[in-house]
Each structure stands twice: as C-alpha cells, then as structure tokens.
Structure 1
C-alpha cells in the first residue's frame, strides 16, 4: 500500500500531518483520509510529496 510509504516518510522527516497538509493546501482531515487510504492523492499532490520527501514518484508511490 503506497500510503504506508507516505506515513513512513512523514514520520522520518519529523513532520506532523498538519504540516504536510499545509504543503498540499488541503485540510488536516483530508490529508488524514488520504494518508490512511480512504481517499486518493491527486497527481499534483503526489508530485508535491515526492519533492517534499526527496523521492521519485516511483520510489514513493509504486515501490
């Protein structure tokens, strides 16, 4: 499940959900739903997250 990678990277960087949500310009609640697999990240959000965590889209979402 790719969202596990997102949570793991967020924790590794010491970011809270509110911080990452602000980078994506979404609410913390919406981010929580996406991180927990109840909603999908948009293509643009995936790009932002890959830059934020210094990973390629493949590394972050498809490995």
Structure 2
C-alpha cells in the first residue's frame, strides 16, 4: 500500500522503458516528482510492438 513501480531514471528524463529499470517506489513521492516534470500523456498501446496512441494530456 502506498507504493508503485516506476522507471529509474524516469522516462521524461531519458530513462529507458525496460523492465530492468523498474523499481518499487513510494507512490506519493514518485507521482509528485513526475507531476513536477510537466504535463503527462495518457497512452494506450493495443498490442506489443503496436504504435501507441495518446488518449489525452493530463495536467497543465
């Protein structure tokens, strides 16, 4: 409870989206950090290897 998995370094900072870069983190700290980096995009990727689609931008 109160934890999440996040990429380290964070993806907006150039971190790779690879499983070996996932770490268990404090959720409030991690999501606050990501919010401070700027607007987030909610994406959907229908299948492995498929092109991702932006559903909406979150934040301002």
Instruction: Please give the TM-score of this superposition, normalised by the length of structure 1.
Output: 0.30
Specify which structure has the bigger relative contact order, considering alpha-carbon pairs within 8 angstroms and separated by 6 or more residues.
Answer: 1
- The structure having more radius of gyration, on CA atoms, is 2
Q: Which has the higher helix share?
A: 1
More strand by share: 2
